[in-house]
Amino acid sequence: MGAVFTQLYPPRPTFTEKDVPSLVGKVFIVTGGNAGVGLELVKMLYLKGGTVYIAGRSASRIAAEIEAMSAIPTDTPGKLKSLIVDLNDLSTVSPCVSEFLAQESRLDVLWNNAGVAQPPTGAGTSDGIEAIMRINCLGAFLLTKMLLPVLIKTAQSSPGGSVRIVFTSSGIIDMSGPPGGIDLAELVPGNYSKDASRNYSASKAGNWFLASEFDKRIREHGIVSVAQSPGTLRTKGWDRAPWSIKVSMALFMHEPKMGALTELWAGLSPDVKLEDGGRFAIPWGRWHPSPNKEILQSLKTKEEGGTGLAAQFWQWCEEHTKQYANL
């Protein structure tokens, strides 16, 4: 219970935008960066001089936020650019990556910030995959994998551990969800749970699984891959939640900017080292003091005494995204 309490009532942040040095020359991608936590993070990066790509579904919404942010007075304005991608439609990921690579030859940090807690209207597709898992995990997996070459290239000329991939998870994995984080049987089309909260928790455990599995594959290149829970925040993600849940959680909700500080810490804090790859950060920028033991077992291979569930989930993601990798 202590692990839950410390996330609902976090201590004061020790790393804020005031601690971030100039980001001139640095390039970032923030998925879902046109609203909520992502938007607050984009502002912080932009005001420090960074080149920030806002990746999202709506060109008009992104354009509106770029116009609004460009009007903010600052001595070191960065650059704001748009990337169109719909993580519910995996066929849009490859064109998004191509558009980015046509403009940039480096990528310092990828924040996989976008996600959903409730299935969006019309989210079902012919693949039969549960929508929350498709958006939160398959979309983030495919985007990250396709950007690996430019991340690796950037790491070759950057200080070790400064190039990073940040997956957005949630504190819900400490409170509910399938044993071990994910039930692979529920990933079979037509067999997924009808409980949106269970599916959401599974997808957030999946985000940690992916952070850990990417770490195993790219740490040798000097890249840090971590997961983080931004906190319980007043964002539109709660709009479709039952009113009873909204009322019960109201006392624990914080402003989106606080969640952005968690993401900022995971992506830019010097306290995050290369050897921290695969770890789980909690509000407002610190490592989880007592992670879910069943999930920790899932992260370990069978040779390490674990269940190997995270590796199996990686393979599931590979299988269900391979057709979109070279569109």
Residue 319 phi/psi, 5-degree rounding, is -60, -40
Q: Are 37 and 260 in contact (CB under 8 A)?
A: yes
204 annotated active-site: yes
Q: Are 49 and 72 in contact (CB under 8 A)?
A: no
Q: Which residue in 9, 204, 257, 302 is the catalytic one?
A: 204
Alpha helices in the chain (DSSP H): 2-8, 36-47, 59-70, 93-101, 131-133, 140-156, 196-218, 243-249, 256-268, 293-299, 309-321
Q: Which residue in 48, 192, 200, 257 is the catalytic one?
A: 200
Q: Which two tokens stand for residue 176?
A: 């509910």
For residue 274, the number of C-alpha atoms closer than 13 Å in the C-beta half-sphere is 14
Residue 187 phi/psi, 5-degree rounding, is -90, -10
DSSP state, 135?
I
| Residues taking part in catalysis | 200, 204
